[in-house]
Amino acid sequence: MMTHDLKSPLTVIMGYVQALLLEMPEKVDPSLHLFVREMDKSSGKMLTMIDDVLDAYRLEAGLLQIDRQPCNARQLLEGCCNDGVREAQVHGSTFLSELSPEAPVLSLDGKQIGRVFANLIGNAVKFTPRRGTIWVSSALRDGFFTVEVSDTGIGIPSEELPRIFNKYFRASAARGFKGTGLGLTISKAIVEAHGGNIMVESQEGQGSRFTVLLPLPGAKNA
């Protein structure tokens, strides 16, 4: 209830910040534009964290809703990659993508699957120190739309890998990085609700690779 109640005042703040962004005259000191953009970005992050806590509760209560519609999975991934390019630039990292030429229409909840892609790409950028590389690829393989998100970041200690999808779990290597430890738990639940699978391979200090498999139309589980 408390978490839910936090959303209303935050949404009001976000509305005013966005109005400021639209209405602020060009002539105003450029640093003011920067401050308002930062307020916009930070309040967006706060809203995502609140939504993650609410979804963790919904997941436990069996209330997480998946609304599947025909959806172009490649286009969805491409949009998330565009955001990733910008995020990686800010972090001083290189972002590469190699998406399949095919654009399969899958029965997906686009908002939720978009959230999974954004979470994996956001983590790859976040956990990769400057001058690292983030690499996203997609392919149609063995009846699945397969998405791989790899990075040359901090990696995950091997003994902690089995717990990485647990609620609130954050690896010891992630100390000092912001987060709630809910993104992967929610991502796994969303992918599995689509009949898919999510996997991780990682080496501490070397980097990580997350793989998402979403069944193509006509495949088992689709």
The answer to whether the beta carbons of residues 132 and 144 sit under 8 Å apart is no
Q: Based on the shown chain and the rule CB under 6 A, indicate whether residue 95 belongs to the binding site for ligand ADP.
A: no
- Both tokens assigned to 144: 């699945």
Residue 84: which of 104, 67, 99 has the closest Cα? 99
Minimal distance, residue 104 CB to ligand ADP, in Å: 26
Minimal distance, residue 147 CB to ligand ADP, in Å: 14
Q: Based on the shown chain and the rule CB under 6 A, indicate whether residue 174 belongs to the binding site for ligand ADP.
A: yes
Count of residues that interact with ligand ADP, criterion CB under 6 A: 21
Q: Based on the shown chain and the rule CB under 6 A, indicate whether residue 143 belongs to the binding site for ligand ADP.
A: no
- Both tokens assigned to 164: 């990485």
Q: Give dist(CA 74, CA 157) in Å, integer.
A: 32
Q: Based on the shown chain and the rule CB under 6 A, indicate whether residue 157 belongs to the binding site for ligand ADP.
A: no
Name the residue nearer to ligand ADP (CB basis): 153 or 196.
153
Q: Give dist(CA 83, CA 88) in Å, integer.
A: 9
Q: Based on the shown chain and the rule CB under 6 A, indicate whether residue 156 belongs to the binding site for ligand ADP.
A: yes
Q: Give dist(CA 201, CA 187) in Å, integer.
A: 16
Name the residue nearer to ligand ADP (CB basis): 107 or 133.
133
CA dihedral 18, 24, 28, 30 (to 10 degrees): 30
Q: Based on the shown chain and the rule CB under 6 A, indicate whether residue 80 belongs to the binding site for ligand ADP.
A: no
Which residues bind to ligand ADP, rule: CB under 6 A?
119, 123-124, 127, 151, 153-156, 164, 170-171, 174, 179-185, 208
